[in-house]
Amino acid sequence: MQRENKSDEWVRLVLRRFRTQLPFESSRSQQNHESREHIKNCIVSLSEHNFTMVVAELARFIKEPSFLCSLPAEKMTLASQSNSITMDTMAQCFERIQTDVQPFLMKF
């Protein structure tokens, strides 16, 4: 089995921390919001160098509609908020990579 390199380990660690800050995973709000925003910015920066891994891991965080429907109303709201935050983070990663790639695409 191939051992992960340090950058992959770091990406997974940051993503794990992000997940624990999502409303569905945590009960604290304001303190988590500030920490989550900081971690979110780190993830977007990391996506410049490890885009595929970051986006694939974020996609795994998204709760499917069938799962959401099986939750009590309060948990469904938290899961929906978590999905929204995760998808916003993914969108920022796509925007960042598009901005970085745009100058190279202009050459073709």
22: which 2 tokens?
């999502």
Please give the pLDDT value at position 69. Answer: 86
> In this predicted model, what pLDDT tens digit does every residue of 1-35 receive, in sequence order?
455 688 889 899 999 999 999 998 876 666 667 78
Count of C-beta atoms within a 10 Å radius of residue 34 = 10
pTM score: 0.80
In terms of Cα–Cα distance, which of 83, 10, 16 is closest to 50? 10
Please give the pLDDT value at position 1. Answer: 45
Query: What residue has token string 């910015």?
Result: 41
